[in-house]
Chain A
Amino acid sequence: MSLLIRNGRVVDPATSVDAVQDVLIADGVIERTGPRLAAPPGTEVLDATGRVVCPGFIDMHVHLREPGHEYKETIASGTRAAAAGGFTAVCCMANTNPVNDNGAVTDYIRAKARVEGVVRVYPIGAVTRGLRGEVLAELAELAEAGCVAFSDDGRCVMDAALYRRAMEYTLPFGAPVISHAEDHTLSRDAAMHEGVVSTELGLPGEPAAAEEVMVARDILLAELTGARVHIAHISTAGAVRLVRDAKARGVRVSAEVTPHHLLLTEDAVRTFDPNTKMKPPLRTKRDVEALLEALADGTIDCVATDHAPHATSEKEGEYDRAANGILGLETAVPLLLDRLVRPGRLPLPTLVARLSRDPARLLGLPGGSLAPGSPADVTILDLEASVTVDPRRFRSRSRNTPFGGWTLHGGPWRTVVGGAVLAP
């Protein structure tokens, strides 16, 4: 049960390695990395010459839709989409049916993932019962059952006092609360970002302030309670500024950004394609620039996809009535390599860090490193591969992407989970 990944460019930000090396795996853990390692007899050899060998990518924000919405995605299909996209671990949000607001649901998800999943699955528990924002979920039980964070993602906990109590109550568990920062009174009825394009299209918009008001509130509550707060899918320049200032003051706040918020703007909505509709909405060029700068300088800690599968019937009709959210797992890595790394806008080792070392650090997950003793989760990239995004070929059960037809250079070549090689 050993594997030698030979002669690839090993990029491991956790150990500050960027060199052509071999990676030796035995019994599901990294045994050693180094130049020209000897393969013990019986070792399977994977020639990675010309490829890039990275710690397995971790997507800390996905919706696997199971239990309850299996017509959109299942743990089986979602984890296959993850593997195909180069991810070795995913954290799944609590807005299933039933909601993951108690230990039994967490147990179910983990059991399903063990049997049917092909990558590691870490559940995120709800903050409030039923995601209703009224009373706390059984947070200690969720933590004990294996939830790695708490979030009502999809909704914002509008009651500041309740959210403060959630932060305090979860302090001993060492798991952060994850904020879906959206003031629902400011975003009521909104179908897109409020700005030039919403004015032109006559679609109801939500201002950047709908997000920023809540980012500011949650930073202040983190300061008050000493809790760790993670801002999900940060999308505005103003929210970035708030996080940067808070970090400089020593507040325990972190943030993630999605590939679509890094690459698309409100202009994409002009097509009225519901696959450009999500929360938070696509913002302006100025916001996109601020997000990229913040991802590069570490103000934004990681990239997460907010993989949100929806059936075609929920994403093909009237724009203002369509469901929010798009797929991410199978397009994220090629998009980021092609649009950010290839043109030199983001160094490859920085991107690798934001996809592996940093999410692992935020949630205290095993992995995110190729150091000896780490789990043998490895993502191998082929920077020369050329792929045209074809939603019909997705492993996901859903097809809702605005990137169909995009031709991208660079993508995952092999995904290794616990020493097992998964062909994408």
Chain B
Amino acid sequence: MAWTRKDLLTMRELDAAEILTLVDTAASLQEIASREIKKVPALRGKTIVNLFYESSTRTRTSFEIAGKWLSADVVNFSISGSSAAKGESFVDTARNIAAMSPDVVVVRHSSAGAATLLARELPCSVVNAGDGAHEHPTQALLDLLTIREKKGHFEGLGVAIVGDIAHSRVARSNIHGMRKLGMTVTVAGPPTLIPPFVQELGCKVAYRLEDAIRDVDVIMMLRLQNERMAGDLIPSLREYARYWGLSLDKLHAHARPDVVIMHPGPVNRGVELSPEVADGPYSVILDQVSRGVAVRMGVLLLLAGSKSAEAA
């Protein structure tokens, strides 16, 4: 189907057909990674600005590689050394960037809604690369692409998302995407990390790891953010790891043998995942990372390259 949106801001606003278009486009671009010359001319002459207000290694690198493989000019704009450090407001920065006529702005920001705000301000396409605890659509898309490769389909699959749901944009984007593709989602964690009324997003809630991971096809473990590792939300890292960390023993005792383990990274080894699970046969964590480049190529191509897409 034809892509008509100016921006990619949330999974919530997409319908199933749009999500499948994004996933299929990404799938078709995957083989570029295995070429000797990793370059297609699809976005030649297009300018992509990576505007990152939060530190990020893999997402920014992934967008940068994706843009370069498509022959776009990619400019990185990160907070240290840029205007934000001098006190320029987000809106002013946006207007200044708009004045430089980019074709796509990829934005990562700690405030929920930042990408929506930018998309309203800018005439060019905006890609949300993570806004606060709101959404991270390209992460959900690469998770979906990975799941389809491992399981062959979406409809009817069961997924457990475990950990700090309250502060996770990855969880929100995945819940929306997975529900729209016919998957069943259970979120799990201590009640202080489960946001109120989360069932209204269409998922189930479990308060024991064992209950959450039983009979699911996919387990997605979330990173416990450093600043939440001890304090008023959980008593201690030790207690969290003991009750919510996924070990090989728990996996063998409660999960199906064909389950796959996902993690958006970076992993706190020994906290949410034991090293033998993170590096073991169930883990598809590195597959997720490599799919990330294909997904971002697909997104950039659909947003910026509708006419030149055939040339690819």
Q: Which A positions have Cβ atoms within 8 angstroms of B?
A: 194-196, 198-205, 207, 271-272, 313, 316-321
Known: A195-B197, A200-B172, A203-B134; 13 extra A-B contacts, CB below 8 A, are A194-B196, A196-B200, A199-B200, A203-B112, A207-B196, A271-B116, A272-B113, A272-B117, A313-B89, A318-B109, A318-B111, A319-B111, A320-B111
Render B89-118 as a binary contact track against A, CB cut-off 8 A, 1 for contact.
111000000000000000001011110110
Q: Please give the number of chain B residues whose Cβ is less than 8 angstroms from any Cβ of chain A in the complex.
A: 25
- CA gap between A17 and B270 in the complex, in Å: 76
26 contacts between A and B (CB under 8 A): A196-B196, A196-B197, A199-B195, A199-B196, A199-B197, A200-B200, A200-B201, A201-B112, A201-B113, A202-B112, A202-B167, A202-B169, A202-B172, A203-B133, A203-B134, A272-B117, A317-B89, A317-B91, A317-B117, A318-B111, A318-B113, A318-B114, A318-B117, A319-B113, A319-B117, A320-B112
Chain A residues in 8 Å Cβ range of B90: 317-318
CA distance A201 to B176 in the complex (A): 12
Q: Which residues does chain B contribute within 8 Å of A207, judged by CB atoms?
A: 196
Chain B residues numbered 166-211 whose CB sits less than 8 Å from any CB in chain A? 167, 169, 172, 195-198, 200-201
Q: Is B12 an interface residue (CB 8 A)?
A: yes
* 9 nearest CB pairs, A to B: A202-B133, A272-B113, A318-B111, A202-B134, A199-B195, A196-B197, A202-B112, A319-B113, A203-B112
Nearest CB in chain B: distance from A195 CB, A? 6
Neighbouring B residues of A203 by C-beta, 8 Å: 112-113, 132-134
Residues from chain B with a CB closer than 8 A to the CB of A202 are 112, 131-135, 167, 169, 172
Closest chain-B Cβ to A229's Cβ sits at a distance in Å of 30
Give, as a whole number of angstroms, the nearest-CB distance from B131 to chain A: 8
CB distance from A211 to the nearest CB of B (A): 16
Give chain A nearest CB distance to B171 CB in angstroms: 9
Nearest CB of chain A from residue B88's CB, rounded to whole Å? 11
CA A199 – CA B135 in complex, angstroms? 11
Q: Is the CB of A199 within 8 A of B132?
A: no
Nearest-CB residue, chain B, relative to A199: B195
- Report Cα–Cα, A319/B120, bound state, in Å: 14
In Å, the complex CA distance between A145 and B222 comes to 59
Q: Which A residues lie within 8 Å of B112 (CB)?
A: 201-203, 272, 319-320
Task: Specify the chain B residue showing the minimal Cβ separation from A319.
Answer: B113
Bound form: Cα–Cα A199–B112 in Å: 11
Which of the residues A194, A199, A272 comes within 8 Å of B201, measured between beta carbons?
A: A199
Chain B 65-83 interface mask (CB, 8 Å, partner A; 1/0) = 0000000000000000000
* 0 or 1 for each of B117-134: is its CB under 8 Å from A? (1 = yes): 100000000000001111
A201–B197 contact, CB under 8 A?
no
Q: Which residues of A contact B133 (CB under 8 A)?
A: 202-204
Interchain CB contact under 8 A, A200 and B196: no
CB neighbours (8 Å) of A318 from chain B are 90, 109, 111, 113-114, 117
Q: Which residues of B contact A205 (CB under 8 A)?
A: 196
Residues of A contacting B197 in the complex (Cβ-Cβ under 8 angstroms): 195-196, 199
Query: Could you tell me the distance in whole angstroms from the C-beta of A52 to the nearest C-beta in chain B?
Result: 40
CB interface residues, B 187-242, toward A, < 8 Å: 195-198, 200-201
CB proximity of B261 to chain A, nearest CB, Å: 24
A418→B112 CA distance, assembly (Å) = 49
Q: List CB contacts (< 8 Å) of B119-153 with chain A.
A: 131-135
Q: Which of A195, A200, A271 has its CB near the most chain B CB atoms (within 10 A)?
A: A200
Name the distance in Å between A203's Cβ and chain B's nearest Cβ. Answer: 5
Residues of A within 8 A of B117 (CB): 272, 317-319
Contact B111 A198 (CB under 8 A): no
| Contacts known (A317-B90, A317-B117); A200 close to B12, Cβ less than 8 A | yes
Contact A199 B114 (CB under 8 A): no
Output the nearest chain A residue to B136 by Cβ-Cβ distance. A202
Q: Which residue of chain A lies nearest to B114 when distances are taken between CB atoms in the complex?
A: A318
Nearest CB of chain B from residue A261's CB, rounded to whole Å: 20
Q: If A272-B117, A318-B117 touch, does A199 touch B89 (CB 8 Å cutoff)?
A: no
Indicate if the CB atoms of B134 and A198 lie closer than 8 Å: no
Asked if A321 and B111 sit within 8 Å, CB to CB, the answer is: yes
Which A residues are in CB contact (< 8 Å) with B131? 202
Closest beta carbon of chain B to A286's beta carbon, Å: 13
- A320 contact set on B, CB distance < 8 A: 111-113, 132
How far, in angstroms, from A166 to B89 measured CA to CA in the complex? Answer: 41
The interface residues of chain B lying within 8 Å CB-to-CB of A321 are 111
Beta-carbon nearest neighbor of A200 in chain B: B201
* Docked complex Cα distance between A207 and B196 (Å): 10
Q: Which of chain B's residues has its CB closest to A322's CB?
A: B111
Instruction: Report how far A196 CA is from B112 CA in the complex, Å.
Output: 15
Beta-carbon contact of A201 and B134 below 8 Å: yes
Name which residue of chain B comes closest to A191, CB basis: B112
B195 to A272, Cβ gap below 8 A? no
**Residue of B with least CB distance to A316:** B91
Structural contact, A272 and B116, CB atoms closer than 8 A: yes
